[in-house]
């Protein structure tokens, strides 16, 4: 992260640096310390927790949320907030299933079509925000509603599997392409699930894009001060459009992974994806005390929540407490980031 | 100042007020006294400490040392709300803060009562109307009570702000450049109202550069310079002495900066209108020349610069850049063509948050040049750093290094960073809007020198402070609702924004 404080001789910076000290170090590493603590506690209570297999299953469980959280983070970098990612992912599950079962497309065609669907939704979001001037939260929330409803219409609310009876009365007899299912189910070298590899690839690419390229600078410049960015010659409309296009395309990639894992177009898939992704992106603010959207933090945030839920499940904590736990983590992380941050700056 | 003055009439007095911001001593021991029934003028160049003093008086900031007394009792407001409760109210230059769009003028007048609960929980349109009429009548203004605050002009907003202050039983009223956005007739109306308020026993502190306002209104004038009292004049006020105290040198030969510049005309503006009902503007700026435009707030200085920069559309008229027609559609095109602009209020128009990526000195300088400096797209190599080091050396920026966060820099050094951004790649034309805003005297001289050192660049500066124009520009123009004309002519006829500087 580039948020590292600079070693400096200026009186102002030096005194700020002195005040950072141990407290600052604790704050920056808080999420990692907690993560380590959780691992120790869970491993003590349940030795199977530490196995590679379990570790991979945690990562596989969080991969979709992490990919969506990266998208949300990029929308936050431009000062926006993409609340449509949950519905984009869910409707992508339906779109991919429909493409294979009804239209009998193969894996490559299905993936291309689904990602194109996500891209188009992102462009519509951007048009609403940039051209029409709808506030970002409202535009993407409205899109969330629209897609949640739209995905039910082609199948009259039924889930999609081979033998689906369409509203016209025709039976659709296409099937999920096995190579499509591999996206969600195969493992590289029999160890690393493809979704985990996709998560790592998306995280790495997005990290480089946001932190190490001039496009990333412009994303944060637009989000930090849009007027200043525009007066510095940035095409702010294009930058915002790019951010929402990336966000929605990543969400549809998440939908592809869910469809490939589940192997059917389930109308209720992706119900909790939006809030989980937003939570991960926000917990990311606390990672390294960045106090800003950052890709690395979002991925770590998703993994943190995944480890917590996996461990609690192993300890037989009831399933219905999961949302409460996630919420508590989010409240704690944000309180830590902003509350303690204020006193030291 | 005068211990024998009747204590009962003294509204607000301060002794040895001092305030330091970081390395800048904004106020170093100022004494003053505001007496009920009296209008006191406050003069001072940018950075003289006027705003700091006002902020201390209304509790927006606290003095480091010194003593304030209100009606003889110690007075140390912790917040503007507290100051208002005991009757000390400041009316800011930015009149849009006097109300909120969506509220009618009547509702705006009652905001204070809504906030402190005096209206009760339920309010009826009839009771709002009745109370608003009372407030308007008490102030003596005719206000358009039923119109939306968003739809009324700056003059009426000013009156709304004053009416609110009177309604809240103000004893001390502080006005900051109140006539900046008013026409001559509106100003006259305001003066009559202020006279009336003073006659009713209010103490009024009137901050202005305009000697004709102060000549008309003020019983006394207090002049600040470099955070100290430079002069205190009583009627008959010698404004030449006051102005000389303000700028710290004789007025004669005040325009030290003028040079004869023989470069090619780089920027030519012909019959350009800044609005359908605004007079056409003609202006030519030569390569190597520094031209300043001064004039009251709202005269269109920023509008002119933003139009030349492509951030606002050309309403009517022609612009030529190096002889070629110039119609930029956006700032990106302007920058590509070598027209650079640093907007006014650097925090709003130039700088991005210090704790986000791009918040360092080097990144702030690089922002407009990213595509040129990083053609591969990846932020690699030391180009950003070397430009920053060069700027730090050339402009004397006090920072720990290229990676220093902007919020560790003083205002003057932040402004130098903004200038460095637009000098990092040599342009044809540089447009600077209020480049000395919130900048101390030392940094101001550095910035002026750096601007004047660019011999291949045509520079156009907008500043509301004629003193700054005199320090930096080869030629000076005045822009007001009558159009653009040479500043020296405007001074002769007592021009509306001039400090009355005359040879």
B residues 307..326 contacting A (CB < 8 A): 309, 311
Range of lowest pLDDT (A128-142, B89-103, B475-489)? B89-103
Tell me the Cα Rg of chain A.
21
Partners of A8 on chain B (C-beta within 8 Å) are 400-401, 404, 408
Question: Which member of B335, B377, B378 has the closest CB to residue A233?
Answer: B335
* pLDDT(B494) > 50: no
Name every chain A residue with its beta carbon within 8 A of the beta carbon of B398: 10
Instruction: Say which of A2, A214, A231 has its CB closest to residue B331.
Output: A231
- Using the predicted structure, report yes or no on whether residue B304 has a pLDDT greater than 60: yes
Q: Do B321 and B267 meet the contact criterion of CB atoms below 8 Å apart?
A: yes
Task: State how far the Cα of B74 lies from the Cα of B18, in Å rounded to an integer.
Answer: 16
| B310: nearest CA partner in chain A | A231
User: Which residues from B are below 8 Å from A223, CB to CB?
Assistant: 356
Q: Which of A8-17, A68-77, B79-88, B304-313 has the lowest mean pLDDT?
A: A8-17
β-pairing, B172-176 vs B203-207, is parallel
Q: Could B404 and A230 be called an inter-chain contact, meaning their C-beta atoms sit closer than 8 Å?
A: no
**Chain A residues with at least one Cβ partner in B under 8 Å:** 2-3, 6, 8-13, 16, 210-218, 220-221, 223-225, 227-235, 291-292
Measured CA to CA, the distance from residue B142 to residue B123 in angstroms comes to 23
Question: If pLDDT is split at 50, 70 and 90, which confidence band does B319 have?
Answer: very high
Question: In this predicted model, which residue has the larger pLDDT, B454 or A29?
Answer: B454
Spatial neighbors of A15 by CB under 8 A, at least 6 apart, are none
Are A13 and B405 an interchain contact pair (Cβ–Cβ within 8 Å)? yes
Question: Cβ contacts (< 8 Å) between B339 and chain A: which residues?
Answer: none
Q: Which CB contacts under 8 angstroms, 24+ apart, belong to B200-203?
A: B201/B36, B201/B37, B201/B171, B202/B11, B202/B36, B202/B37, B202/B170, B202/B171, B202/B172, B202/B173, B203/B11, B203/B12, B203/B34, B203/B35, B203/B36, B203/B37, B203/B38, B203/B40, B203/B171, B203/B172, B203/B173
Nearest CB to A217; choose among B332, B335, B379? B379
Using CA atoms, how far apart are residues B158 and B173, in angstroms rounded to an integer? 13
Interchain pair B408, A291: CB under 8 A: no
Among A18-32, A132-146, B164-178, B358-372, the range scoring the smallest mean pLDDT is: A18-32
- For residue A270, pLDDT beyond 80: no
Task: Summarize the confidence of residues B286-290 as an average pLDDT.
Answer: 92
- Separation CA B22–CA B5 (nearest Å): 37
Say whether residue B120 is in contact with chain A using an 8 A CB cutoff: no
pLDDT of A1 > 60? The answer is no
CA–CA–CA angle B285, B286, B291 (5° rounding): 45
Flag the least confident range among A7-11, A234-238, B14-18, B23-27: A7-11
The 3-class SS string of B303-350 reads HHHHHHCCCCCCCEEEEEECCEECCCCCHHHHHHCCEEEECCCHHHHC
CA-based nearest distance B290→chain A, Å: 22
Subunit contact B332:A235, Cβ cutoff 8 A: yes
The pTM is what? 0.79
Contact yes or no for B268/B253 (Cβ under 8 A): no
Residue A9: pLDDT band by 50, 70, 90 thresholds? very low
CA count, 13 A, side-chain hemisphere, A199 = 28
- Model confidence at B451, pLDDT cuts 50, 70, 90, reads very high
Chain A's closest residue to B370, CA to CA, is: A214
Give mean pLDDT, residues A114-143.
95
Helical (H) or strand (E) element with A211 = helix A194-212
CA–CA separation, A232 and B367 (whole Å): 6
B206 near B212, Cβ under 8 Å?
no
Q: Determine how β-strand B324-325 pairs with β-strand B316-321.
A: antiparallel
Rounded Cα distance between A95 and A115, Å, is 10
CA distances from B282 to A273, B301, B322, B485, B495 (A): 60, 13, 16, 9, 19
pLDDT for residue B48? 79
Contact B336 A213 (CB under 8 A): no
What is the pLDDT, as a whole number, of residue B6? 46
Which residues, including other chains, have CB under 8 Å from residue B294's CB and lie 6 or more apart? B301, B462, B463, B464, B465, B466, B469, B476, B477, B478, B479, B487, B497, B498
Cα first-last separation, chain A: 19
Cβ neighbors of B136 (< 8 A, separation 6 or more) are B109, B142, B143, B145, B163
Residue B137: is its pLDDT beyond 70?
Answer: yes
**ipTM for this model:** 0.82
The larger pLDDT score, comparing residue A11 to residue B176, is at B176
pLDDT-derived band at B50 (thresholds 50, 70, 90) equals confident
Name the 3-class secondary structure at B438: coil
Write out the H or E segment, with its range, that includes residue B460: strand B458-462
Helix, strand counts (H, E) of chain B: 19, 20
The predicted-structure confidence for A220-264, as pLDDT tens digits, reads as follows 999 999 999 999 999 999 999 999 999 999 999 999 999 999 888
Give the mean model confidence (pLDDT) for residues B176-194: 77
Q: What per-residue confidence (pLDDT) applies to A113?
A: 96
Mean pLDDT computed over A311-332: 84
- The answer to whether B349 contacts A217, with C-beta atoms less than 8 Å apart, is no
Q: What is the pLDDT of residue A226?
A: 92
Going by pLDDT thresholds of 50, 70 and 90, the confidence category of residue B499 is very low
User: Edge-to-edge strand order for the sheet containing B10-21?
Assistant: B24-35, B10-21, B65-70, B73-74
Residue whose pair of structure tokens reads 């007394």 in the numeric block? B69
Residue carrying the six token digits 């929330």: A141
Q: Do B408 and A10 touch (CB under 8 A)?
A: yes
pLDDT tens digit string along B54-72? 889 988 888 888 888 888 8
Given 3-state DSSP classes, what are the helix, strand and coil percentages for chain B, each rounded to the nearest 5? 35, 25, 40
Nearest residue in chain B measured CA to CA from A9: B400
* Contact call for A292 and B355, based on CB within 8 A: yes
Q: Are B399 and B392 in contact (CB under 8 A)?
A: yes
Q: Which CATH architecture has domain B7-247?
A: 3-Layer(aba) Sandwich (3.40)
Which of B331, B338, B343, B356 has the most A C-beta neighbours within 10 Å, making it the best mutation to test the interface with A? B356
pLDDT, tens digit, 9 for 90 and up, residues B386-430: 999 999 999 988 888 899 898 888 778 899 999 999 999 999 999
Nearest CA in chain B to A225: B352
Nearest to B297 by CA among B407, B433, B185: B433
What pLDDT is attached to residue B110?
Answer: 81
Token code pair at residue B66: 């010194």
Q: Is B142 on the interface with A (CB under 8 A)?
A: no
> A257 and B398 in contact (C-beta within 8 Å)?
no
Quick one: how far is CA B492 from the chain centroid? 24
Phi, psi of B22 (to 5 degrees): 55, -120
Q: Which residues of B touch A236 (CB under 8 A)?
A: none
Do the Cβ atoms of A270 and A258 come closer than 8 Å? Answer: yes
Sign (positive or negative) of CA dihedral A253, A258, A264, A267: negative
Helix A214-224 / helix A52-77 crossing angle, nearest 10 deg: 60
What was the pLDDT predicted at A12? Answer: 36
**Cβ of B371 under 8 Å from any chain A Cβ?**
yes
DSSP state of A48: G
With beta carbons under 8 A apart, name residues in chain A contacting B434: none
SS3 B355: coil
- Please report the pLDDT score of residue B236 as a whole number: 79
Most confident of B216-220, B335-339, B396-400: B335-339
Phi/psi for A2 (5° steps) reads: -90, 10
Task: In chain B, list all ranges with CATH 3.40.50.300.
Answer: 7-247, 265-351+426-492
Of B379, B399, B404, the CB nearest to A213: B379
Torsion of CA A26, A28, A32, A38, to 10 degrees: 50
The angle subtended at Cα A232 by Cα A231 and Cα A237, nearest 5°, is: 70
Question: Tens digit of pLDDT for each residue in A26-63?
Answer: 777 878 888 888 888 888 888 888 888 888 888 998 99
| Structural contact between residues A3 and A268, judged by C-beta atoms closer than 8 angstroms | no
What CATH class is the domain B265-351+426-492? alpha beta
Q: What pLDDT is recorded for position B253?
A: 52
Gap from A12 CA to chain B (nearest CA, Å): 6
CB contact under 8 A, A214 and B379: yes
Token pair of A268 as six digits: 């209720």
Token pair belonging to A233: 């010659």
Q: What is the CATH number of domain A27-344?
A: 1.10.3470
Q: Residue B181 has what pLDDT?
A: 65
Beta carbons of A212 and B332 less than 8 Å apart:
no
Whether residue A13 and residue B367 make contact (CB cut-off 8 A), yes or no, is no
Residue B168 · residue B82 · CB < 8 Å: no
Helix (H, G, I), strand (E, B) or coil at B54: helix
Whether A9 and B400 lie within 8 Å, measured CB to CB: yes
Whether B100 contacts chain A with CB within 8 A = no
DSSP bridge partners of B30: B17
- Substitution target in A78, A216, A233 with the highest count of B β-carbons within 10 Å is A233
With contacts defined as CB-CB under 8 Å, which chain A residues touch B359? 224
Taking alpha carbons only, the member of B248, B207, B241 closest to residue B32 is B207
On the question of pLDDT at A96 being above 90, the answer is yes
Q: What is the mean pLDDT of chain B?
A: 83
The pLDDT value recorded for residue B333 is 93
Answer positive or negative: Cα dihedral of A55, A60, A63, A64: negative
How far is residue A25's CA from residue A97's CA, in Å, rounded to a whole number? 48
pLDDT tens, residue by residue, B222-253: 988 888 888 888 877 787 778 778 777 666 55
- Report which DSSP code applies to A162: T
Task: Report the residue of chain A nearest B398, measured CA to CA.
Answer: A10
pLDDT tops 50 at residue A15 = no
Pair B132, B49: CB distance under 8 Å: no
Residue B4 has pLDDT above 50, yes or no: no
pLDDT above 90: percentage of residues in chain A: 48
Ordered by start, the domain boundaries in chain A are 27-344
Highest mean pLDDT among A144-158, A230-244, A266-280, B342-356: A230-244
Are B356 and A292 within 8 A, CB to CB? yes
Q: Is the pLDDT of residue A11 over 50?
A: no
Q: Tokens representing A128?
A: 């609403």
pLDDT score of B492 more than 70: no
Tell me how many residue pairs between chain A and chain B have CB atoms under 8 A apart: 111
Report the gap between the CA of A73 and the closest CA in chain B (Å).
13
User: Any chain A CB within 8 A of the CB of B21?
Assistant: no
Nearest to A227 among B348, B366, B403 (CB): B348
User: What are the distances in angstroms from CA A321 to CA A38, A190, A316?
Assistant: 17, 33, 11
Bridge pairing between strands B316-321 and B220-225: unpaired
Contact indicator for A229, B350 with CB cutoff of 8 Å: no
For residue B373, what is the nearest residue in chain A, using CA coordinates?
Answer: A214
pLDDT in tens, B348-389: 899 999 888 989 999 999 999 999 999 888 988 789 999 999
CB contact under 8 A, A13 and B330: no
Residue B232: its pLDDT value, please? 82
HSE-CB for B282 with a 13 A CA cutoff: 2
Nearest residue in chain A measured CA to CA from B346: A228
Stretch B433-458: mean pLDDT: 85
Asked if B161 reaches chain A (Cβ–Cβ under 8 Å), the answer is: no
* pLDDT recorded at residue A85: 94
Whole-angstrom distance, CA of residue B453 vs CA of residue A49: 68
Phi, psi of B233 (to 5 degrees): -115, 135
Interface membership of B335 toward A (CB under 8 Å): yes
B375 vs A: CB within 8 A: no
Average pLDDT over residues B468-486: 86
Task: Note whether A221 and A141 are within 8 A (CB).
Answer: no
Best CA proximity match to A251, nearest among A142, A139, A114: A114
> What pLDDT, on a 0 to 100 scale, did the predictor assign at position A20?
54
Tell if the CB–CB gap between A234 and B332 is shorter than 8 Å: yes
- Whole-angstrom CA distances from B208 to B48, B160, B161, B323 are 13, 20, 18, 40
Which of these, A228, A229, A207, A227, lies nearest to A218 by C-alpha position? A229
CB contacts of B367 in chain A (<8 Å) are: 217, 221, 228-229, 232, 234
């Amino acid at each position: 992260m580039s948020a590292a404080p600079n070693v400096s001789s200026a009186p102002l910076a030096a005194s700020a640096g002195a005040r950072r000290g141990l407290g600052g170090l604790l704050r920056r590493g808080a999420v990692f310390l907690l993560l380590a603590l959780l691992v120790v506690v869970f491993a003590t209570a349940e030795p199977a927790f530490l196995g590679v297999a379990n570790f991979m299953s945690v990562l596989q469980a969080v991969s979709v949320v992490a990919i969506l959280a990266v998208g949300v983070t990029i929308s936050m970098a431009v000062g926006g907030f993409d609340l449509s990612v949950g519905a984009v992912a869910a409707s992508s599950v339906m779109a991919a299933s429909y493409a294979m079962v009804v239209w009998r497309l193969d894996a490559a065609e299905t993936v291309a079509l689904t990602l194109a669907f996500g891209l188009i939704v992102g462009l519509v979001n951007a048009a609403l925000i940039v051209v029409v001037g709808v506030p970002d939260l409202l535009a993407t929330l409205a899109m969330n509603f629209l897609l949640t409803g739209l995905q039910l219409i082609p199948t009259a609310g039924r889930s999609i599997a081979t033998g689906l009876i369409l509203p016209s009365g025709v039976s659709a007899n296409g099937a999920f392409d096995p190579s499509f299912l591999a996206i969600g189910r195969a493992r590289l070298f029999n160890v690393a699930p493809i979704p985990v590899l996709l998560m790592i690839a998306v995280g790495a690419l997005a990290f480089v894009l946001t932190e190490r390229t001039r496009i990333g600078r412009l994303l944060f410049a637009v989000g930090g001060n849009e007027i200043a960015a525009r007066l510095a010659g940035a095409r702010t409309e294009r930058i915002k459009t790019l951010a929402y296009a990336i966000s929605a395309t990543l969400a549809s990639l998440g939908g592809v992974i869910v469809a490939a894992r589940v192997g059917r177009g389930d109308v209720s898939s992706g119900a909790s994806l939006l809030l989980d992704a937003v939570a991960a992106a926000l917990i990311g603010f606390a990672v390294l005390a960045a106090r800003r959207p950052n890709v690395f933090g979002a991925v770590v945030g998703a993994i943190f929540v995944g480890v917590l839920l996996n461990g609690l499940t192993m300890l037989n904590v009831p399933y219905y407490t999961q949302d409460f736990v996630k919420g508590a983590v989010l409240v704690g992380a944000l309180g830590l980031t902003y509350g303690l941050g204020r006193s030291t700056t | 100042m005068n211990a024998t003055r009747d204590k009962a009439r003294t509204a607000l007095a301060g002794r040895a007020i001092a305030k330091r911001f970081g390395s800048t001593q904004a106020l170093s021991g100022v004494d003053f006294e505001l007496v009920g029934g009296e209008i006191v003028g406050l003069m001072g160049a940018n950075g003289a400490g006027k705003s700091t003093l006002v902020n201390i008086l209304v509790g927006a900031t606290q003095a480091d040392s010194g003593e304030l007394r209100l009606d003889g009792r110690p007075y140390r407001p912790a917040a503007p709300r507290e100051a208002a409760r005991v009757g000390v109210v400041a009316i800011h230059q930015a009149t849009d803060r006097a109300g909120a769009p969506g509220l009618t003028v009547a509702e705006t007048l009652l905001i204070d009562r809504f906030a402190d609960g005096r209206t009760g929980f339920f309010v009826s349109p009839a009771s709002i109307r009745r109370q608003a009429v009372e407030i308007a009548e008490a102030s003596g203004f005719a206000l358009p009570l039923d119109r939306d605050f968003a739809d009324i002009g700056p003059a009426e907003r000013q009156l709304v702000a004053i009416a609110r202050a009177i309604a809240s039983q103000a004893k001390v009223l502080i006005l900051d450049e109140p006539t900046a956005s008013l026409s001559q007739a509106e100003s006259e109306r305001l003066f009559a109202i202020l006279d009336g308020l003073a006659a009713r026993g209010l103490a009024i502190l009137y901050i202005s550069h305009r000697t004709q306002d102060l000549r008309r209104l003020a019983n006394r004038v207090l002049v600040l310079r470099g955070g100290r009292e430079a002069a205190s004049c009583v009627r008959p006020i010698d404004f030449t002495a006051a102005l000389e105290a303000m700028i710290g040198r004789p007025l004669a030969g005040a325009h030290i900066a003028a040079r004869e510049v023989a470069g090619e005309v780089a920027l030519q503006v012909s019959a350009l209108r800044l609005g359908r009902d605004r007079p056409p503007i003609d202006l030519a700026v030569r390569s190597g020349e520094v031209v300043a435009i001064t004039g009251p707030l709202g005269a269109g200085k920023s509008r002119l610069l933003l139009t030349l920069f492509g951030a606002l559309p050309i309403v009517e008229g022609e612009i030529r850049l190096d002889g070629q027609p110039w119609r930029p559609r956006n700032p990106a095109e302007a920058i590509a063509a070598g027209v650079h602009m640093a907007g006014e209020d650097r925090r709003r128009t130039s700088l991005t948050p210090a704790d986000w990526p791009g918040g360092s000195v080097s990144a702030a300088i690089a922002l407009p040049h990213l595509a040129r400096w990083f053609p591969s797209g990846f932020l690699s190599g030391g180009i950003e750093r070397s430009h920053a080091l060069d700027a730090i050396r050339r402009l004397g920026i006090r920072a720990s290094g290229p990676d220093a966060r902007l919020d560790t820099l003083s205002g003057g050094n932040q402004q130098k960073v903004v200038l460095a951004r637009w000098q990092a790649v040599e342009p044809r034309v540089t447009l600077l809007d209020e480049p000395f805003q919130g900048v101390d005297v030392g940094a101001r001289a550095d910035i002026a020198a750096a601007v004047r050192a660019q011999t291949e660049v045509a520079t156009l500066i907008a500043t509301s402070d004629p003193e700054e124009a005199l320090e930096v520009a080869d030629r000076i123009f005045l822009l007001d609702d009558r159009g653009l004309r040479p500043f020296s002519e405007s001074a002769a006829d007592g021009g509306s924004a001039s400090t009355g500087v005359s040879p």
